[in-house]
Structure 1
Amino acid sequence: MQDVIIIGGGLAGLVSALELARAGHAVTVVERKTYPFHKVCGEYVSNEVKPYVESLGVDLAGLGATTINRFQVSAPSGRLLESKLDLGGFGISRYRLDYELYQLGLLAGVQFQLGKQVDEVQFADNRFAVTSSDGITLSSRLVLGTFGKRTKLDKTLNRAFMQQPSPYIGVKYHVRVDLPDDVIALHNFSDGYCGMSAIEAGSYCVCYLTTRTNLRQHGSIPAMEEAILYQNPHLRSVFTSAQHLYDKPEVINEISFAPKRAVENHILMVGDSAGLITPLCGNGMAMAIHGAKFASELSGAFLRGQLTRQQLEQQYQRGWSQRFARRLWVGRTVQKLFGKPWLTEAGAWAFGVFRPALRTVMRQTHGDVINV
């Protein structure tokens, strides 16, 4: 019997596991991949979590994290706007950051079940039974769902957002390219946008969101990029000059930005499992880390007998909404201004005329610095 089983070993899962294990609880993480590995992710992190991440024992400077303090956005025509990031952030790959947290988790006594996928979670008699793809069932007092954007388990749990097919796909590369390392840029194109920011070792993360329709029309990712993304001169310049650091991009299908419940079948959902912010506004990594800290604090109180399960679930749902619901709403609202070329051009023009509005939007998608 474990105190906690965490399904998914991304940022939310690793931070939660580390905090709970250091508090003396028996924690098992089930992750379908083996570390280190790449993930489709923008790899920009708001400074709201920087002191907290470093307090966990992560040496961001030693890992080569970049400092980001400027934001750029371009319309499909290439019209470019720039704004200062009031809080700022840093750039680091999931490949490196997740692996560092995994190593810290091992030192803290976290048990990892790697290369396994959870097929079913049952709750009865105030206990969970978690069955993985190899047929092994583990039991625990608590389960955290940190399994990301969209998985088989979401379907098994009959989560509402799974009833709404999503048209979006995400594509990510690591490249070397001659661009400033203190900027996060978001370049728009027809039915999509591409985020770019510097990460460690002189590399750049290039991650874009588009639709399956764009891909179907052109038959392959390279053909789609040349036909659609290259219409934006900034993207054409990057894609034609960059040195790609791995042969094939990371790709994920059916990314959903629909609202999600933070508690499902008594499972506390953390990170993207609880709600996904649009890439246009970024900051999903910071939200996952922030959410994991909150979830682990409440989970610890429950495991120590200070909260009933009902109190735990009510406080978590309410607290999660207070921290993140507005950010997600702002992201979904702003996203409607982008995608279609004419609307994106109009949005860029409006933000160009009313420049303080752009900084206001960015502030609305960033939280306060976490007290350590």
Structure 2
Amino acid sequence: MNEKIPYYDCAIVGGGPAGLSLAAWLGKRGFRVVLFEKNSYPFHKVCGEYLSLESMESLLELGMPLESWELPRINTLFMSSPGGTAFTRPLKPGGVGLSRYRLDQALAARAKANGAHVLEQAKVGAVFQENEIFKLESSRGVVRAGVCCASFGRHANLDVKWKREGLKKPPNFIGVKYHVQLERPQDTIELHYFKNGYCGISPVEDGKHCICYLTTEKNLREQGNDILCLEERVLSENPFLRKALKEAVRLYKRPLTVSHVGFSRKSLIEDHVLMLGDAAGMIAPLCGNGMSMALHSSKLAADLVAQHLEGSISRDSLEKAYQGSWQSHFASRMRSGRLIQDLFLRPAAANVLVKALRPFPALIDYMVRQTHGQQPF
């Protein structure tokens, strides 16, 4: 009976940057890969849409036409407090502005070109093992695979079934995103704090800007769950943010939102499934490096999964090596991100912290280095 069920070397649940690039890497090496994505490409996602330069070499190696896209090169950070204190610093090594809409669509095309089977409108309901082989049940059918990886965001139904560690602490943040037309420097990413939240403004392709902010669910409830009221009464207390929101020409009829966002630690392996990208834990958005970390984690996984599929390492060695590699590359960045976010989200702390940082540019540069990879992967 099992012989009638399609078999793949690797099955991937979730088609964001981590899952798609993993599919592209493994497909490029000749492995049979299937990827399940619950949406259809292209689609927008709540995301800061800044990609640090550490990712460029890897994406170019995959055949992504980044140079032809003429993406805005971002090398400056502008930061402001709720009270209007602000400073500007060079951002090293810097990055580019790139929407998830374009990145995910291009990665999906690259994965398909490399032979991966990308299933859209495919929601996975269950993953389990039978005799060392994974079986995945989805809305698009059932498949078997020798290796399974997960790269879904936030809390998915599989998280609940696995009773994952990250579910113990309830998430309490919301994210809101717009694409806008806005007169701003093309080389600058802005970070504006407001009561119990912060907002990033950065250029993306085609002359647009991304406005994306994170705040507590409590903040929104206090404004009657009305996003416009939240922006007018809370975000606009920051004079820089008030000016930006007033001048922005919004390109969406309504904002893109996401709720129940959490940043608690998560396990890297669940029932022998490797977790990548946000499924392995979300970095605080103010650190601006989530897309790059997702791409990096997929490259680490691809190298190890390939060794396992080729018979060089056992499944146990694969899992131990992946956990060790992930911790080595990302654990410190995740800790730094949580610490920085916790500090700046404390009531009244953002004004004090921004004023305290302004006379010490070396300290600002140090904080940036804690959340950005310095070398290409």
Q: TM-score range by the shorter chain?
A: over 0.9
Q: What pairs with 1:153-192 in structure 2 (closer than 5 Å)? A: 153-192=158-197
Mapped to 2, the partners of 1:76 and 1:166 lie a distance apart of 24
The letter of the residue matching 2:107 is: L
For the pair 1:287 / 2:305, whether they are aligned, the reply is no
1-structure distance, mates of 2:144, 2:259: 31
Residue 12 in 1 paired to residue 18 in 2?
A: yes
Contact residue 47 and residue 88 of structure 1 kept, 8 A = yes
Q: Give the TM-score taking structure 2 as reference length.
A: 0.96
**The one of 52, 58, 79 aligned to 2:85:** 79
Q: How many residues align?
A: 370
Which of these residues, 278, 291, 298, is aligned with residue 272 of structure 1?
278
Matched, 1:320 2:326: yes
- Residue 68 of structure 1 pairs with residue 74 of structure 2: yes
| Separation in 2, partners of 1:340, 1:313 | 37
2:38 to 12, 20, 32: 32
Distance in 2 of aligned mates of 1:151 and 1:173: 24
Distance in structure 1 (CA, Å) of the matches to 2:376 and 2:207? 29
Consecutive unaligned residues in structure 2, runs of 5 or more: 1-6
Counterpart pick for 1:116 among 97, 122, 134 = 122
- 2:268 pairs with 1:262: yes
**SS at 2:143's partner residue?**
strand
CA contact (8 A) 1:64 1:199 kept: no
Partner of 1:368: 374
Cα deviations by residue, 1:135-165 (Å, 9 ceiling, x for unpaired):
x221100111011222222111110111211
Q: How far does residue 65 in structure 1 lie from its aligned partner after superposition?
A: 1.5
Residue 235 (structure 2) aligned to one of 229, 235, 241: 229
Percent identity reads 39
2:340 corresponding residue in structure 1: 334
The 5-angstrom pairing of residues 72-221 of structure 1 reads 72-133=78-139, 136-219=141-224, 220-221=226-227
Return the letter of the residue paired with 1:169. Answer: I
- Please say which of residues 227-236 and 348-357 is displaced more in the overlay: 348-357
Give me the TM-score of the superposition, normalised by structure 1.
0.97
Contact 1:175 1:205 in 2 (8 A): yes
Contact 1:76–1:341 (Cα < 8 Å) also in 2: no
Separation of aligned partners in 2, 1:342 and 1:246: 32
Question: What amino acid is aligned across from residue 170 of structure 2 in structure 1?
Answer: P
Q: CA deviation at 1:185?
A: 1.0
Q: Would you identify which runs of 4 or more consecutive aligned residues in structure 1 move more than 6 Å?
A: none
The answer for unaligned runs of 5 or more in structure 1 is: none
Does the residue aligned with 1:186 lie in a helix, a strand or coil?
Answer: strand
CA-CA distance at 1:109 after TM superposition: 1.1
Partner of 2:9: 3
How far apart are the structure 2 equivalents of 1:294 and 1:332? 23
How far 1:171 sits from its partner (Å)? 0.7
Give how far 1:341 is off. Answer: 4.5
